[in-house]
Structure 1
Amino acid sequence: MASSTHKLYHVHGCDSRQVLEHYLSDKAEMVFAEDSLIFPIQQLTRTFAGGHIKGDIIVDLSAGPLVHHLYAACEFFEHTIVLKVSDRCILEMKRWLDSRTGAFDWGHATKIHVETEGKSAQLQEKERKVREAAQHVMKCDLEKENMTDPIVLPPADCIISVTLLDFISKDQDDYIRYLRKFSGLLKPGGHLIIIGCLDRTYMMVGKDKFYALTYDEDFVRKALAGEGFVIDDCKVKKRTNVSDLCDYKGVIFIAAHKEK
């Protein structure tokens, strides 16, 4: 469990723009590009290109005001529903979706994606498609039985979650409890894509240190199996960058489906 000096992402909130600048920007001093941008984009592009993960609705349950992980998905789903625990994240994300002045520039991530797809001429078209697909951005309360109360969401064909479970779970039992809640949003046979960091204990955002759950690949595999998921793909990338901002040892990508 977190020490008293660690903040909790979903309780205390954090500076959403600093998260983007520290871990997802194109600044020269941003050392996480291979792990936070390139690896996820490559894995998502490959996974969705397989053609078996598609449908009407994909629900995004991710930490921070992230956009880059939605590029591949927007081609395969009619609607993208983005759920956030933080008002700050919602404001930051809507600023980009609505093309407002001062929005974070995701151009470098878009470039990585279209180059990965081999469609580098479609840079602006890709951003337009993501903006059109992700117009449903809502706040959620993870502790409620219906986390979007009073709105009841239709069952999703796919859920994608980037590092949210890492930060909201105080222990491994909590991780499984939230995983079960995520599963409840899915149709039978629906797909779940999880991207997380292995063996991490904290993340710095400015001067604030945020708690992160420590777990390994074996734990995630067992947790998914225990909740009725069949793993279709699992990739792990070992950390190569050097930074005191975050102490993870690797990044895990898992695609699974819910047994009917």
Structure 2
Amino acid sequence: MDSGSRKIYHVHGFDSRQLLEHYFSGNTENGFLEDSLLFPIENLTKIFTDGHIKGDVLIDLSTGSFVHHLHAACEFFKHIIVLKVQDRCILELKRWLDTRTGAFDWGHATKLHVEIEGSSEQLEDKEGKVRSAVQHVMKCDLEKENMTDPIVLPPADCIISAWLLDDISKNKDDFIRYLRKISGLLKPQGHLIFIGSLDMTYFTVGKDKLHVLTYDEDFVRKALVGEGFAIDYCKIKKRTAVSDLTDHKALIFIAAHKEQ
């Protein structure tokens, strides 16, 4: 399948459960445990426990229906609002939030959080905090002037965007345009946490190969600065995953604050 015929995440969708099974399960054989789980968890735990990023409202704008990136955030924000561009991802996430039969088991990720924090907290209590903090899960459309129309969101103290801009941006102009839209949801001096994959050209879910915007560290840094952000923290992790499901070379984690 050539790049022109690859599916586009927010247009064609994918099997949200298979995405979790491929990239976010506790399987240690393909290396995604380190790339997709451990890397975000370690860095999110660090920046939140440093104490500079906290507040009332956190908005999550990420690909798929994963929740492991919210475990650290729920300790520092009163309200978490999750926005999704795909209905299937909303349904998958709500299945876990409502503790329904058949929900994806995030116990392995919760255990990593507890170990990294050095906490003696029970896994059930930790997951309960996440469920309590996530107060709204709703559909959004980044092409609309108000992406959650007719609902108007409160200004956010922090936004987490994990892999979404990689997957919905057809080109670099799109990336910057969507970044500008996301930035508009932040309070002045609000924080943006960006997680993405460097030098990637595709990812696979089931039998489908999906489009990804290919970019490097320099592009992301310039895009953020160009939209009025100051970068406070940046970590790069070289790929450890041994799999042909995707071809990323490295992962990037950036925490920035809005200057303008």
Q: TM exceeds 0.5?
A: yes
Matched-pair contact (CA < 8 Å) for 2:235–2:254: yes
* Alignment: residue pair count: 259
Give the structure-2-normalised TM-score. 0.98
Query: Would you say 1:184 and 2:187 are equivalent positions?
Result: no
* 1:63 CA drift (Å): 0.1
Q: List alignment gaps of at least 5 residues for structure 1.
A: none
Matches within 5 A, 1:8-87: 8-87=8-87
| Poorly superposed stretches of 4+, deviation over 2 Å | 2-5, 27-31
Structure 1 residues 196-216: Cα deviation after superposition (integer angstroms, max 9, x where no partner):
000000000000000000000
| Separation of aligned partners in 2, 1:166 and 1:25 | 21
Q: List alignment gaps of at least 5 residues for structure 2.
A: none
* 1:41 CA drift (Å): 0.1
* 1:29 CA drift (Å): 4.3
| Separation of aligned partners in 2, 1:34 and 1:120 | 23
In structure 1, the residue corresponding to 2:196 is in which secondary structure?
A: strand
Structure 1 residues 66-109: Cα deviation after superposition (integer angstroms, max 9, x where no partner):
10000000000010000000000000000000000000000000
* 1:28 CA drift (Å): 4.9
- 1:161 is matched with 161
- 2:131 is matched with 131
| Separation of aligned partners in 2, 1:55 and 1:206 | 39
Matched-pair contact (CA < 8 Å) for 1:97–1:135: no
| Separation of aligned partners in 2, 1:222 and 1:236 | 16
* 1:259 CA drift (Å): 0.6
Structure 1 residues 6-33: Cα deviation after superposition (integer angstroms, max 9, x where no partner):
0000000000000000000013544301
| Separation of aligned partners in 2, 1:49 and 1:87 | 33
Query: Would you say 1:251 and 2:251 are equivalent positions?
Result: yes
- 2:216 is matched with 216
* 1:133 CA drift (Å): 0.6
Structure 1 residues 197-248: Cα deviation after superposition (integer angstroms, max 9, x where no partner):
0000000000000000000000000000000000000000001221100000
- 1:150 is matched with 150
Matched-pair contact (CA < 8 Å) for 2:45–2:72: yes
Identity fraction in percent: 74
How large is the Cα RMSD of the aligned pairs? 1.0
Give the structure-1-normalised TM-score. 0.98
* 1:135 CA drift (Å): 2.6
In structure 2, the residue corresponding to 1:135 is in which secondary structure?
A: strand
